[in-house]
Amino acid sequence: MNKIIFGCFFLFGIIALAQNTQEMSNTIYQFKVDDIEGKEFDLATLKGKKVMLVNTASKCGLTPQYEQLEEIYKEYKNDNFMVIGFPANNFASQEPGSDEDIAQFYERNYGVTFPMMSKISVKGYDMHPLYQLLTQKSKNGLEDSEVQWNFQKYLINEEGKLVKVIDPRTLPNDDSILQWIKS
């Protein structure tokens, strides 16, 4: 009798694990990335929050967007909203420095306090798996897209799913983005 009960609990545990894995397979929650200081950052800790993921660069004409990103982060971080920056050197070598160089730059010039991750690739043969999810409809369920340039924004809902891709030239404090954050 005990073996049957144990077997049932074991089977239910496997089923629950499989369902959880299935639910996370097309969300950002399946990923763990390194932050700018080399510590692991589990994106599953963002469950229940709206998230804006942004690929950043220090030597780009759009770099001043750090200022607006920081403003909306400060204004809405207590309302279940998060901004996360992913430095990337995929466009005209505009993010050539080390993680330490990048951290010094954005802290010194823009006072950034939102989480910044370690430099990754957002395009090409070495594209990070998170950006594969963000850019491939077969993985995100929404649309195929290509990272056009630095400061492209990906809006993620409270369930960890991609809901909108925002052009790099659209400012982070654009009314359409602010309305999404508040909705």
Write out the catalytic residue numbers: 60
Centre a 10 Å sphere on the Cβ of residue 168 and count the other Cβ atoms it contains: 18
Query: What DSSP line would sit under 21-75, residue for residue?
Result: HHHHTTSGGG-EEEBTTS-EEEGGGGTTSEEEEEEE-SSSTTTTHHHHHHHHHHH
One-letter amino acid at 82 equals M
Exposed/middle/buried for residue 19 (C-beta within 10 Å: 0-12, 13-18, 19+): exposed
CA distance 74 to 116: 14
**Hey, what amino acid is at 31?**
F
Instruction: Report the distance separating Cα 30 and Cα 149, nearest Å.
Output: 25
